Structure 1
Amino acid sequence: MQTLNDVITGTIFLGTRLYMQAVNQESTNLHSTAVVLLNTRMLKSISSVKEMVKPDSKAPWGNHFAFLHVSVPRLTNAEIQNPLKFIRKAQEIIQSKRSSFGAYLTAKLLETVKKFRGHETTAKFIHGSLNNSSIAITNMMGPVEKTTLANHAIKGLYFMVVGSPQSLVVTIVSYMGNLRVSLGAEEGFIDSPKLKSCIENAFEMMLNAASATPSNANFLNGHNTSSGP
């Protein structure tokens, strides 16, 4: 079954391949790797900072995440005609990675390195791993109800990861049922307006393909909103 995150991630992959094709036709066949960040913190309730910093806390303080290196599928002419095929292919790749022990072992490895070598060594390890990817994608579920900041209603929000070594960083957040996708592109290397146009085109292609027949509409309706890619 396709999840909402599968569809979004696959569509971003599609837009990225469309951009690569627009810039250089031969680059469509080049190998490209995305790193997908996964939140591994299991939140059953909200804990105070005092509770989080306890040695035996069930919700310990700090970030808890793992990452998967996912190959961006190559784009064929048939998939341009029917982009849902491309999204299904991307979903199969992500599912195979997500079902493996890779994410679990990565999370345990990060915890072990942090425990015995400290935060600085852990940060160097993470940076080295991220440096072996072209794209970073991370997402989070935002508030489902309107929120305020200093008594001012928030109309929309987004977040961005800065300082990462990838040429392209994609962040996704939902707020009150609306999805916002933000792009951070390497200056002087990526044509930002063209990339934005290709990503928008990919979402249009996906929407048109899903709306073409009832069976394709079910492809999008049969999703959940679980966290992760």
Structure 2
Amino acid sequence: MKNKPEEEEEPLSPMARVFQSPVVDICAIIDFGFKTKINPDVVLDALRHNVYKHPRFSSKLSENGAKWIETEVNVEDHVIVPYIDPEEIGESGQSFVDDYISRLTTMPLDRSRPLWDIHILNVKTTDAEAVGVLRFNHALADGMSFFSLVLACTHKTSNPDVLSTSNPSVKRRTTMPHNVEKTGWFPRTMFTIGSTMRLIWNTFVDLLLLSATMLFLKDTKTPLTGGVDVRTNPKRFYHRNISLDDVKLIKNAMNMTINDVLLGITQAALSSYMNRRYEQDKKNEKDGALLTPFPNNLPDGIRFRAGCTVNLRSDIGFKPLAEMMAKDSKCKWGNYFSFIILPLSIGLETDPLVYLKKAKAMMARKKHSYHAPLVYFFIKIILKVFGAKAAASVFNQYVMNITTCVSNVMGPMEEVSFHGHPIAYISPSSYGHSQALLVHYTSYAGEMTITMMVDPTVIPDPHKICDDMEESLKTIKAALWERGLL
């Protein structure tokens, strides 16, 4: 089935204009693990009957990249089922899938048609019987929009007649005094005169740091810093599941948010990983001779920052897809988010709870600032005055000078199935960034999936970072038990 021919146009949102620009050209890539082999005919049939209902997946970009143009969609052009020789798979199906996805990061999407494709790999891996890979230009959607699509296309595995749902704890909040809704990393803030003065001061400082970052302020060069070819190098992806219940246990014990816990774990894990990398560099400088190991090999005063996404929609929480697609929706489909910079604390701590406390204090500071909406506002102004290329260049310069990006998206709370195919895990990430490391957290069916995107020329062993995250989670939990806080 084909949708209606080219006729309607719709302008791109400011962030979508930036993401589709050749200067940036960021693509999302989502690895779905399935508990059964995938029937390609089922996928094709579902797309034939539904893709025309979604304007973004049935539209292509205009020549200047400023508008979506509805067009005909031949789904067979977008669904790839490669022939897989069993001998090519070898002993490890996971290695085959990893190599396949890595090759996709070097293959640009065809701009003459809608910017998405699906790859079906009926290969048994470590965590699944088969893998489906969805790839699309980030201009189509942000994380919240994408998961609204997942919820609309899947049913609960336990009850196939019921559509999947997100976590019911996600509710609309009355948040910042400047009336900008922030989700994920930003809890409720009280409005007082004192907080207003702090808001103004924090915003002023953040804008100074933002300006300095765009102009000259770079992070310290570390073993995780990307090289000049980091955007074009093939990327590799690695995922690991940890217990969401453990994360919630720590959250409740420390009276913080899930995102504070995840940020604390990230700081602890990256500190441990980098400490070993610096130790290895010292050994290499001594021609491989074993040195007397020092407990702390980290240089003093490391500037290590992470870009973090902030939802700017006035109505938060997952909404039905039809509601998000409505013209006047308060929770609109697309890219309605901004970025902030989080200064991560990199250092070895004798008390693992210090990482959590520092994360909580940092987020308490960052939540009380106009930083995120003003970044979005500035991008809009640059777009209108100087055009998309200038806006993309400014955005790219901003992210080039920080080390990594971190995000957290809440997925379905129960196991879901796509037309009879139960999903084992959902591992989203992206590529095209100016960093050698991205960290994505995604909750799904009682587990938290950590997804690493890495430049393997910089980080050849992302599994060790995940090892450190698991160990940090265990160490923090043990420390809370010892102190009677659990």
Q: TM-score range by the shorter chain?
A: 0.7 to 0.9
Match of 1:15 in 2: 269
Which position in structure 2 is the counterpart of 1:171? 440
Aligned partners of 1:198 and 1:129: how far apart in 2?
A: 29
- In the aligned structure 2, how far is the partner of 1:203 from the partner of 1:84? 10
Would you say 1:102 and 2:378 are equivalent positions?
no
Runs of 4+ with >6 A deviation: none
Contact preservation (8 Å) 1:47, 1:59: no
Contact 1:32–1:72 (Cα < 8 Å) also in 2: yes
Q: Give the alignment partner of residue 197 of structure 1, picking from 422, 444, 467.
A: 467
Q: Is the 8 A contact 1:2 1:91 kept in 2?
A: yes
In structure 2, the residue matched to 1:34 is 306
Contact kept in structure 2, 1:28 and 1:74, CA below 8 Å: no
Deviations 1:93-124 (A, max 9, x none): 22212211112212333344445555554433
The equivalences for 1:1-229 within 5 A come to 1-24=255-278, 25-27=297-299, 29-43=301-315, 45-46=319-320, 48=322, 52=326, 54=327, 57-76=329-348, 79=349, 81-114=350-383, 117=386, 119-192=388-461, 193-215=463-485, 217=486
Computing the radius of gyration from Cα coordinates, the structure with the larger value is 2
Distance 2:343 2:484 in 1: 30
Q: CA deviation at 1:70?
A: 1.2
Could you tell me how far apart the structure 2 residues matched to 1:46 and 1:117 are?
Answer: 36
Residues 161 and 171 in structure 1, CA contact (< 8 A), matched pair in contact too: no
Contact residue 20 and residue 27 of structure 1 kept, 8 A: no
CA deviation vs aligned residue, 1:1-60 (integer Å, no higher than 9, x gap): 4111100111111100111111111346422111111222244643538954x4x55344
SS of the residue 2:276 aligns to: helix
Please give the per-residue CA displacement for 1:38-95, whole angstroms capped at 9, x wherever unaligned.
222244643538954x4x553444211111111111324xx2x321112201221222
Q: Is this contact kept in 2: 1:20–1:28, CA < 8 A?
A: no
Decide whether aligned partners of structure 1 residues 189 and 47 sit closer, same or farther in structure 2, where only a CA change above 3 A counts. Answer: closer
Q: CA RMSD in A?
A: 2.5
Which amino acid letter does the alignment assign opposite residue 421 of structure 2?
H
Inter-CA distance 151–203: structure 2 relative to 1 (3 Å threshold): same
TM-score (norm 1): 0.80
CA contact (8 A) 2:270 2:346 kept: no
Percent identical pairs in the alignment equals 24
**Helix, strand or coil for the counterpart of 2:379?**
helix
> Distance between the aligned counterparts of 1:112 and 1:46, measured in 2?
31
Between the aligned partners of 1:89 and 1:18, the Cα distance in structure 2 is: 16
Q: Secondary structure at the match of 2:427?
A: coil
Q: Residues 136 and 170 of structure 1 are in contact (CA less than 8 Å); yes or no, is this contact kept in structure 2? A: yes
- Number of residue pairs the alignment of both structures matches: 211
Moved more, 114-123 or 161-170: 114-123
CA–CA separation in structure 1 for the residues paired with 2:400 and 2:322: 35
Q: Contact 1:134/1:168 (CA < 8 Å) preserved in 2?
A: yes
More divergent stretch after superposition (120-129 vs 90-99): 120-129
In structure 1, C-alpha distance between the alignment counterparts of 2:324 and 2:268, rounded to whole Å: 45
User: Matched residues in 2 for 1:124 and 1:152: separation?
Assistant: 42
Structure 1 residue 138: Cα displacement: 0.8
1:75–1:86 CA contact under 8 A, matched in 2: no
Relative distance call for 1:51 and 1:155 in structure 2 (3 A) is: closer
Separation in 2 of the partners of 1:118 and 1:59? 26
Contact 1:169/1:184 (8 A) holds in 2:
yes
- With the length of structure 2 as denominator, give the TM-score of the two structures: 0.40
1:155 counterpart SS class: strand
